[in-house]
Chain A
Amino acid sequence: AQKITQTQPGMFVQEKEAVTLDCTYDTSDPSYGLFWYKQPSSGEMIFLIYQGSYDQQNATEGRYSLNFQKARKSANLVISASQLGDSAMYFCAMREGTGGYQKVTFGTGTKLQVIP
């Protein structure tokens, strides 16, 4: 089974609109961390937002928020007021386990295109 599933290979959004990128995860470990990264066409991986499995509140960072639904094992990224510069690949990722395990597993990504 896939650890991280991103079912939307591509998405379009109108500039200034909000968009939700879906991510579901699979783990039996009670301790895990969830991340979203942005990869523009230039190739670098830019950290956007983090959610810990024990965090009570949904994470927010500026225009990014993470809709964390633990029981459904989903961690959707919401981008508000989309900008042209938001056009990129977006990866959901998870670190699971305790004892210092740090391996992060990535999903296959969603390509977001913002339309003027």
Chain B
Amino acid sequence: EPEVTQTPSHQVTQMGQEVILRCVPISNHLYFYWYRQILGQKVEFLVSFYNNEISEKSEIFDDQFSVERPDGSNFTLKIRSTKLEDSAMYFCASSWGTSGSKETQYFGPGTRLLVL
């Protein structure tokens, strides 16, 4: 069964460093997303991406964050200068469409980011 994959599974970085989190969405999906989950808290939406551009973003997704689809399969989240409060599990998700059951977002296994 097709699935979303994410690399790395864990990332430890120093405050102020740049990190790139990578995702390979399900191959025929058109919509891509990033969410984060701070330990013990609920999952929060960051950004959605369609047709090579951001379609929606949350207030969390400030200028420190960017997303890119550099080729036909990868979808990346970059954090330019990490802060301690960026420590969280980051989930990539993808969906085929935006209505009916096609809007179901399938999540990857997550990247656990720790900023020291």
Number of A-B contacts (CB under 8 A): 65
- Nearest A residue to B47, CB-CB: A103
Using a Cβ–Cβ cut-off of 8 Å, how many residues does chain B contribute to the interface with A? 29
Q: Report the minimum CB–CB distance from A28 to chain B (whole Å).
A: 19
B55 at interface by CB-CB < 8 Å: yes
Complex Cα distance A101/B56, Å? 7
Complex Cα distance A37/B91, Å? 13
Q: Which of A37, A93, A103, A106 is most buried by chain B, counting CB atoms within 10 A of its CB?
A: A103
A102 near B43: Cβ-Cβ < 8 Å: no
A103 near B42: Cβ-Cβ < 8 Å: no
Given A43-B110, A44-B110, A45-B43: A104 touches B100 (CB 8 Å cut-off): no
B112 at interface by CB-CB < 8 Å: yes
Complex Cα distance A105/B45, Å? 7
- Nearest A residue to B9, CB-CB: A43
- Chain A residues closer than 8 Å to B112, beta-carbon distance: 43
Stretch at the interface among B16-24, B63-71, B76-84, B101-109: B101-109
Complex Cα distance A44/B93, Å? 11
Given A33-B103, A50-B101: A102 touches B109 (CB 8 Å cut-off): no
B98 at interface by CB-CB < 8 Å: yes
- Nearest A residue to B109, CB-CB: A44
Using a Cβ–Cβ cut-off of 8 Å, how many residues does chain A contribute to the interface with B? 25
A103 near B56: Cβ-Cβ < 8 Å: yes
- Nearest B residue to A33, CB-CB: B103
- Can you give 28 A-B contacts (C-beta < 8 A)? A33-B103, A33-B104, A35-B104, A42-B109, A43-B89, A43-B110, A44-B110, A45-B110, A47-B104, A95-B103, A100-B50, A100-B55, A101-B98, A102-B31, A102-B33, A102-B48, A102-B50, A102-B56, A102-B105, A103-B45, A103-B48, A103-B58, A104-B35, A104-B45, A104-B105, A106-B42, A106-B43, A108-B42
Binding site for A on B (CB under 8 A): 31, 33, 35, 42-45, 48, 50, 55-56, 58, 89, 91, 93, 95, 98-101, 103-110, 112
Nearest 8 Cβ contacts at the A-B interface: A45-B107, A106-B43, A44-B109, A103-B45, A102-B48, A106-B42, A108-B42, A50-B104
